[in-house]
């Protein structure tokens, strides 16, 4: 009974924090599907990542807030209240996730597991040989609560994103990947430094203070 009571308290506290969160309210007001849109917005403003005409791959895209933000950036004159701009799209957005999400006009969505070769092939087919300007990854595994196992799962997903970036990014392209402070953090920073000419770690203000998440930004591939 004590465990159940504690769980109810935790859920009630989370719900209170969520409802009163200024970024949740702002997302509802501006038509974004999740507050996560403001994380990408802050990263974009800090590092000048998104420009019209780009080819962008959005990994771990559900429920679609990052793709919505990208869509608005590619058609800023036509932004509406629905969270994504409408009309002609000056750029290409390919989104991928295990979970389905409501379609966004002009966004190509692939449902599947990024760790599977068949899904990766679908993504490559959608690119049709075009080099990628920007890869954004909000991927995160289902956490077990076992620190070592969770760190390994997170590290694996980021490694896959880096490998994809190595193969498909333009030389001046960029990768943004969500990581978590913990046992696997330093090796991932090292991996980024081995891969990119400039590496920055950035925790957006819109990322909750209690969260261990941060984002690694890699700019410009190193020549191999």
Residues belonging to the active site: 178
Asked whether the beta carbons of 192 and 218 are under 8 A apart, the reply is yes
Q: Which residue has the tokens 């410009």?
A: 220
Q: Residue 21, annotated ligand binder? A: no
Q: Which two tokens stand for residue 183?
A: 């046992």
Tokens of 165: 């970036």
Annotated binding residue at 14? Answer: no
64 a known binding residue? Answer: yes
The annotation status of 138 as a binding-site residue, yes or no, is yes
Helices (H), 21-64: 22-30, 37-47
- Which is nearest to 70 in space by CA: 120, 108, 25? 108
- CA–CA dist 74, 92 (Å, integer): 9
- Annotated binding residue 220: no
Q: With the C-alpha atoms ordered 96, 79, 25, 202, is the resulting torsion angle positive or negative?
A: positive
State the Cα–Cα distance between residues 50 and 134, nearest whole angstrom.
8
3-state class (DSSP) for residue 119:
helix
Peptide bond into 107 cis (omega under 30): no
* Binding residue positions: 64, 66, 97, 113, 138
**Residues flagged as binding site for S-adenosyl-L-methionine:** 64, 66, 97, 113, 138
């Amino acid at each position: 009974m004590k465990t159940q009571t504690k769980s109810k308290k935790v859920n009630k506290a989370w719900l209170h924090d969520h409802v009163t969160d200024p970024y949740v309210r702002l997302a509802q007001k501006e038509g974004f599907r999740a507050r996560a849109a403001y994380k990408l917005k802050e990263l974009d403003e800090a590092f000048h990542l998104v420009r019209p005409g780009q080819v962008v791959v959005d990994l771990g895209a559900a429920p679609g807030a990052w793709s919505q933000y990208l869509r608005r950036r590619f058609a800023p004159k036509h932004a509406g209240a629905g969270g994504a701009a409408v009309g002609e799209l000056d750029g290409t957005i390919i989104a991928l996730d295990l979970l389905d999400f409501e379609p966004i006009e002009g966004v190509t969505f692939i449902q599947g597991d990024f760790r599977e070769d068949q899904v990766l092939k679908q993504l490559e087919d959608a690119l049709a040989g075009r080099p990628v300007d920007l890869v954004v990854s909000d991927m995160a595994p289902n956490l077990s609560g076992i620190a070592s196992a969770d760190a390994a799962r997170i590290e694996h997903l980021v490694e896959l994103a880096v490998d994809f970036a190595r193969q498909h990014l333009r030389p001046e392209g960029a990768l943004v990947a969500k990581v978590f402070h913990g046992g696997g953090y330093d090796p991932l920073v090292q991996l980024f430094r081995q891969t990119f000419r400039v590496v920055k770690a950035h925790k957006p203000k819109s990322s909750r203070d209690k969260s261990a998440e941060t984002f690694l930004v890699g700019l410009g591939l190193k020549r191999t």
